Amino acid sequence: MNSILVIAEQRRGELMPSSLECIGAAVELKSSNNSTVIVAIIAANASEFVSQLSLEGVDEVITIVSPVAHFQADFSEAAALSLINDRQPSLVLAPHSVDAWGYIPALATTGNYGIASDVFAIRYEDGNLIATRAAYAEKLHQELEFPSYATTVLTVRGNTFKVIEQSGNPVVSDFAAPAVDLRTKHIEYIEPEGGGEVDITQAELMLSIGRGIAEEDNVEQFAELADNMGFTLGCSRPIADNGWLPKYRQVGQSGKTVANCQVYIAMGISGSVQHMAGMKHVANIIAVNTDPEASIFSIARYGVVADIFDIAEELETHFE
* Binding flag, residue 274, other proteins (CB under 8 A): yes
Taking the least distance from each CB to other proteins, the nearer of 165 and 217 is 217
Establish if 254 lies at the interface with other proteins (CB under 8 A).
yes
Segment lying near other proteins (by CB under 8 A), choices 5-13, 111-119, 155-163, 244-252: 244-252
| Of 142, 148, 90, nearest in space to 120 by CA | 142
Tell me the Ramachandran region of residue 84: left when phi exceeds 0, alpha when psi lies from -120 to 50, beta otherwise.
alpha
Q: Which is nearer to other proteins, 68 or 305 (CB)?
A: 305
Q: Given the complex with other proteins, which of 126 and 217 has the nearer CB atom?
A: 217
- What number of chain residues touch other proteins (CB under 8 A)? 23
For 246, phi and psi rounded to 5 degrees?
A: -65, 155
Minimum Å gap between C-beta 307 and other proteins is 10
Query: Contact at 8 Å (CB) between 51 and 79?
Result: no
Phi-psi region of 286 (alpha: psi -120 to 50; beta: other; left: phi over 0): beta
Contact between 166 and other proteins by CB under 8 A: the answer reads no
β-strand partners of 36? 3
Out of 179, 183, 189, 243, name the contact with other proteins by CB under 8 A. 243
Question: Which strands form 140-145's sheet, in the order they lie side by side?
Answer: 140-145, 128-135, 114-125, 152-156, 91-95, 3-8, 36-43, 60-65, 171-174
Torsion, Cα 17 93 127 84, to 10 degrees, reads: -140
Q: What is the secondary structure of 60-110 as a DSSP string?
A: EEEEEE-SSSS--HHHHHHHHHHHHHHH--SEEEEESSTTGGGTHHHHHHH
Residue 194 as a binder of other proteins (CB under 8 A): the answer is yes
* Closest to other proteins by CB, 57 or 238: 238
Task: Please identify, among the stretches 72-80, 110-118, 165-173, 238-246, the one whose residues bind other proteins according to the rule CB under 8 A.
Answer: 238-246
Closest approach of Cβ 194 to other proteins, in Å?
A: 4
Based on the shown chain and the rule CB under 8 A, indicate whether residue 188 belongs to the binding site for other proteins.
no
Nearer to other proteins, 123 or 247 (CB): 247
Q: Tell me the closest approach of the beta carbon of residue 247 to other proteins, in angstroms.
A: 5
Residues in touch with other proteins (CB under 8 A): 193-194, 216-217, 220, 224, 227, 237, 240-241, 243, 246-247, 250, 254, 274, 291-293, 305, 313, 316-317
